[in-house]
Amino acid sequence: MPGCGRIKVVWVDGKPPRYWVILGLTFLSFCLVWLMLDHFFRRFGLTHPDTLHSSSRLFDGKVYYFPAMILWLHDYGLFVMMAWMFVLAVIMSFYRRMVPRD
């Protein structure tokens, strides 16, 4: 990248804190679950509602009923991922320092 040849960014201890690693791994697992849900979304829908499948969505002229959590995750999963990336970036910006490149 232009302009960053003289400095490099490192963690203060030399490695990221444990909570940042846990947040990062849970973020990656959430991304995987969200992508898998997006791929298999129609399989969760039923044509008749029951106690678990209570939220409706229209596909191909038919009404399908989904679990409320699955539908919420399908609709707002990208927003959750972007907010999570922002939180990880803010944590990284406060707990790092710039050192001259050797």
SS3 string of 53-67? EEEEEEECCEEEEEE
**Structure tokens, 21:** 């690693």
pLDDT (mean) for 9-23: 75
State the Rg of the chain over Cα.
21
Q: What is the pLDDT of residue 41?
A: 85
Q: What is the pLDDT of residue 79?
A: 92
Q: Three-state SS for 64?
A: strand
* Of 43 and 5, more confident: 43
Q: What is the pLDDT of residue 99?
A: 55
DSSP 84: H
Residue 36 clears pLDDT 80, i.e. is over it: yes
Write the pLDDT tens digit of every residue in 38-86: 888 888 888 888 888 888 888 888 899 999 898 898 889 889 989 988 9
Q: What is the pLDDT of residue 84?
A: 86
